[in-house]
Amino acid sequence: MIAVEFDAPVDAPMQVTGFELGHVSLRWDGGSHSSRQLGSRGLLMVYLAAADMLNGVATLAAGRDASYVLTGASSGWSFAVRRTRRHGLQLSTPAGRLLCHSSEADYATAVWRGTERLLTARTPIDGGPMADLQAAIAAFPDAYRR
């Protein structure tokens, strides 16, 4: 089982613009990969990262040979997702170091749930990154919305 967590700390009275910097973490049995590992170099715009990850799931669902790399804007942190013949999805660093294997359904559901938690905590104002996130949510496969 894999879990995705988006962390965008915002002071309570502040309006959320969608450009907030924060961290993304992937956790699975026996390991994790988090932008926190890089400290301030790992900070990324989490609402845009959520949109990118949702779009990545849609890309994977669209083709058997599909893959994608999440690269957070202005961040030194990233990971790659590709389909394998035996193990479903393989998550790795861009350099190729294996992080974990996951089924497509588990990964997609984890991205969906992580995004839901992010938006439940603080929804940004309309426009900008929220428009990208809304488009990614609309394109997200219905089968993984659970």
- pLDDT tens digit string along 90-126? 999 988 999 999 999 999 999 999 999 998 887 777 7
Torsions phi, psi of 86, nearest 5?
Answer: -100, -35
What is residue 77's DSSP assignment?
-
Q: Tell me the whole-structure pTM to 2 decimals.
A: 0.91
Tokens of 17: 């613009």
Element (H, E) at 35: none
DSSP H helices in the chain: 46-62, 104-121, 129-139
